[in-house]
């Protein structure tokens, strides 16, 4: 059995708490593998290898725009989450899935590539860099954490966020590339719900789930 939980628009710390609880339960065998989806209030997150110099705006400027800053245990550098972005945390037991982190990330990237393709966008992997790209611009970031083969954290797909907020950071520590969104690249502006549904189907295909689980909300 596999579950999908949509937290809706919520605070980033609340999302972390929900994720941490499920990681414990999945690791102990007390819960099914779960995909957690969310849309966050504006927040800058710092991964384990984050360089704080990649946060370009002052604390005062961030506060004036309602942007929080939170340290996390995911891999990677600095990223931004906000309204109009679909964030997903696959909580999977890789002991059942070959214990192959590279394969896991490739499958996640593949699901994101198929998701944006559903809206007419030709995206791809970028050699040497994680995430999903449209030309030289990143449309989806990936930052994961794995403990005892249980995955957490995951991806952030730009559906229609305020891209000006990315000016506050050097996204993922990469200075020579920009960011984009589905709304910016597609001929129409899809809703977050439509993109969520497309991702759920793509995730199902990428990870060979027996069926497409129903999405529950909290």
**Residues designated catalytic:** 172
3-state secondary structure of 114: helix
Q: Provide the H-helix boundaries in 34-89.
A: 59-64
Query: Which residues face 124 on adjacent strands?
Result: 133
Rounded Cα distance, 156 and 212, in Å: 21
Rounded Cα distance, 132 and 130, in Å: 7
How distant, in Å, are the alpha carbons of 29, 86, 98, 175 from that of 136? Answer: 42, 21, 32, 11
Closest residue by Cα to residue 110 from 3, 210, 4, 203 = 203
């Amino acid at each position: 059995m596999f579950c999908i939980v949509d937290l809706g628009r919520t605070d980033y710390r609340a999302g972390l708490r929900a994720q941490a609880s499920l990681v414990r339960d999945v690791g102990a065998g007390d819960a099914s593998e779960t995909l957690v989806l969310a849309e966050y209030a504006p927040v800058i997150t710092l991964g384990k290898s984050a360089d704080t110099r990649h946060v370009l705006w002052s604390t005062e400027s961030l506060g004036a725009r309602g942007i929080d800053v939170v340290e996390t245990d995911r891999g990677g550098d600095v990223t931004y989450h906000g309204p109009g972005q679909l964030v997903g945390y696959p909580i999977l037991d890789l002991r059942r899935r070959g214990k192959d982190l590279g394969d896991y990330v490739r499958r996640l990237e593949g699901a994101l590539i198929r998701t944006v393709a559903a809206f007419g966008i030709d995206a791809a992997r970028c050699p040497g860099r994680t995430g999903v790209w449209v030309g030289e611009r990143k449309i989806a970031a990936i930052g994961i954490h794995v403990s005892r083969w249980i995955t957490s954290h995951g991806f952030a797909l730009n559906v229609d966020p305020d891209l000006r907020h990315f000016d506050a950071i050097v996204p993922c520590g990469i200075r020579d590339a920009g960011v984009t969104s589905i709304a910016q690249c597609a001929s129409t502006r899809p809703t977050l719900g439509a993109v969520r549904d497309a991702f759920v189907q793509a995730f199902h295909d990428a990870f060979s789930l027996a069926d497409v689980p129903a999405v529950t909300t909290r």
